[in-house]
């Protein structure tokens, strides 16, 4: 096979709404007695989790002139990150946060029939992904390659994880490679690798709604949020935008000739 689709994990193929990392950050910030909004947490989604934490703390301390957090970031950052990893282990242990998103299995099966290998990249550390990939495999999802943010020298938006997928799967024609993700960091990662990019709407971190919240939303309000999310992808220069995973095969077919 000489064609490749590379998926993100949380918010794209598992964990509808990308809830597990958000919940982990909230647990950490509650412990630190920090008032950090979900919007700020989601703003840096897609980065490897070490950089994700660093960016949030840096933004908070700068905007609030918070010397306590500045000192913690300078002298105790590794300790804070390890606490975050423990919290992520807790939040990803909930089945709802490792459940394969509707449409993923059907999409992967169709892409396979079209001659595509399936790669993947994630901001999660490898130690955390080992259990998540087992849970996903039990549900029928097992990509040909998994590269974690701490397996490369730079995480997103660096293209390093995409390049590692290309090397391991022996696919190098960038006109036959597509990156699919649910954050702007995914889109930038794909652009830096000079491959096609597709942004996902439903289930995405960028939309920021879990399945229950979508079900309880009124149609007009949901349409507004979807249009705003679509606009963010368009402004970032995504080659295409998929409402859900079910749309991916037809979009990929149009992009890869």
In a 10 Å sphere around its CB, with 0-12 CB exposed, 13-18 middle and 19+ buried, how is residue 208 labelled?
buried
* 49 catalytic per annotation: yes
State the pLDDT at residue 1. Answer: 78
- pLDDT exceeds 90 at position 155: no
Query: What is the value of pTM for the model shown?
Result: 0.91
CB 17 within 8 A of CB 213: yes
State the pLDDT at residue 60. Answer: 82
State the pLDDT at residue 72. Answer: 76
In a 10 Å sphere around its CB, with 0-12 CB exposed, 13-18 middle and 19+ buried, how is residue 32 labelled?
middle
State the pLDDT at residue 73. Answer: 77
Residues 57, 19: Cα–Cα separation, whole Å: 20
Question: What average pLDDT does the chain have?
Answer: 93
Name residue, tokens 């703003």. 43
Q: Which of 15, 49, 176, 239 is catalytic?
A: 49
Contacts of 146 (CB under 8 A, 6+ apart): 120, 122, 129, 133
- pLDDT exceeds 90 at position 66: no
Rounded percentage of the chain residues whose pLDDT exceeds 70: 100
State the pLDDT at residue 138. Answer: 96
Summarised one tens digit per residue, pLDDT across range 174-224 is 999 999 999 999 999 999 999 999 999 999 999 999 999 999 999 999 999
In a 10 Å sphere around its CB, with 0-12 CB exposed, 13-18 middle and 19+ buried, how is residue 31 labelled?
exposed
Q: Which of 2, 3, 8, 173 is catalytic?
A: 8
Among the ranges given (59-68, 207-216, 234-243), the one the predictor scored with the smallest mean pLDDT? 59-68
State the pLDDT at residue 222. Answer: 95
State the pLDDT at residue 183. Answer: 95
State the pLDDT at residue 167. Answer: 98
DSSP structure class, residue 47? B
């Amino acid at each position: 096979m000489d064609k490749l689709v590379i998926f993100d994990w949380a918010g794209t193929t598992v964990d509808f709404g990308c809830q597990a990392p958000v919940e982990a950050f909230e647990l950490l910030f509650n412990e630190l007695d920090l008032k950090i909004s979900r919007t700020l947490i989601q703003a840096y989604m897609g980065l490897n989790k070490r950089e994700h934490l660093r960016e949030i703390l840096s933004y908070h301390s700068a905007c609030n002139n918070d010397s306590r957090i500045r000192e913690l970031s300078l002298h105790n950052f590794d300790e804070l990150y390890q606490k975050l990893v423990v919290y992520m282990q807790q939040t990803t242990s909930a089945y709802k946060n490792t459940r394969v998103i509707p449409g993923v299995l059907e999409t992967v099966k169709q892409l396979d029939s079209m001659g595509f290998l399936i790669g993947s990249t994630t901001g999660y550390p490898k130690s955390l992904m080992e259990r998540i990939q087992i849970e996903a495999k039990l549900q029928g999802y097992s990509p040909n390659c998994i590269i974690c943010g701490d397996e490369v020298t730079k995480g997103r938006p660096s293209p390093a994880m995409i390049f590692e997928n290309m090397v391991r799967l022996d696919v190098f024609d960038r006109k036959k490679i597509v990156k699919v993700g649910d954050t702007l960091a995914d889109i930038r990662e794909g652009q830096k690798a000079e491959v096609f990019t597709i942004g996902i709407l439903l289930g995405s971190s960028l939309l920021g709604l879990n399945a229950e919240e979508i079900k309880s939303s009124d149609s007009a309000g949901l349409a507004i949020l979807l249009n705003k999310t679509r606009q963010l992808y368009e402004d970032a220069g995504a080659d295409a935008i998929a409402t859900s995973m079910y749309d991916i095969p037809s979009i990929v077919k149009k992009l890869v000739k």
